[in-house]
Amino acid sequence: MTDVKYKRVLLKLSGEALAGEQGRGINPPEIMKVAKEIKDVHDLGVQVAIVVGGGNMWRGEAGAQMGMERSQADYIGMLGTVMNALALQDNLEQLDVPTRVQTSIEMRQIAEPYIRRKAIRHLEKNRIVIFAAGTGSPYFSTDTTAALRASEINADVILMAKNGVDGIYSADPRKDETATKFDKLTHMDIINRGLNVMDTTASSLSMENDIPLVVFNMNERGNIKKVVEGAPIGTTVEGK
């Protein structure tokens, strides 16, 4: 294996990363770009697990605001992540990267059910594992899923690929020009300062299980690989 900083990574892709400019739906050329970046990391010999979001399809909270029962709306959101996972798998396989999709809600005709030991075995055999359907439970997010699965598979790091933002800022840099970027933070900093990175459940799980997080811009070509190789880009969140 080439000299890399992280040997087993959990990449969190938001649903938006798989959508086109309008931020909705599935955009195959956009997914192919992401798939190529992932292949570059896989080619280094790094074990890659991925949690995909579903915000490009549906968010349970939005459904609830429109009058739906929250759990029912969340299940729709989880199914959205499965569509994304299948699209990503298709693109990775077009690039000859072996992949398996595992879902937290059983759908045996299209994917394996989530089985921790099996997921680890796939990673050891250099297959990319895509985790879909979130945690399988309503009221959670795919960020929390990323923290949970990263803990379960003993990932060295969670790589949080953001759309157009190159790390964690004191405020939203698109709205506030005084916003400053942090190079390093602790998980507790994020919780205490209420920084908009991941939800508190995801942050506390990452903190309790001592899993570092790197937040970076995925719109710059080659960034996922750079982070894995240890380049100082984005914001690193580590420790209490």
Q: Where do contacts with ligand UDP occur on this chain (CB under 6 A)?
A: 14-16, 53-55, 59-61, 74, 77-78, 80-81, 134-135, 137-138, 140-143, 145
Quick check: 203 and 192 in contact, CB under 8 A? no
User: Whole-number minimum distance, CB 96 to ligand UDP, in Å?
Assistant: 27
Question: Which of residues 138 and 234 has its CB atom nearest to ligand UDP in the complex?
Answer: 138
Question: Which of residues 45 and 164 has its CB atom nearest to ligand UDP in the complex?
Answer: 164
User: Whole-number minimum distance, CB 70 to ligand UDP, in Å?
Assistant: 8
Can you read off the two tokens belonging to residue 120?
A: 């680890």
User: Whole-number minimum distance, CB 4 to ligand UDP, in Å?
Assistant: 25
User: Whole-number minimum distance, CB 43 to ligand UDP, in Å?
Assistant: 26
Cα(129)–Cα(122) distance, integer angstroms: 7
Cα(89)–Cα(28) distance, integer angstroms: 11
Helix axis angle for 142-152 and 116-124, nearest 10°, is 70
Question: Which of residues 50 and 178 has its CB atom nearest to ligand UDP in the complex?
Answer: 50
Quick check: 46 and 6 in contact, CB under 8 A? yes
Question: Which of residues 16 and 40 has its CB atom nearest to ligand UDP in the complex?
Answer: 16
Residue of minimal CB distance from ligand UDP? Answer: 53
Nearest residue to 92 via CA among 59, 43, 139, 45: 43
Nearest residue to 56 via CA among 17, 92, 91, 12: 17
User: Whole-number minimum distance, CB 170 to ligand UDP, in Å?
Assistant: 22
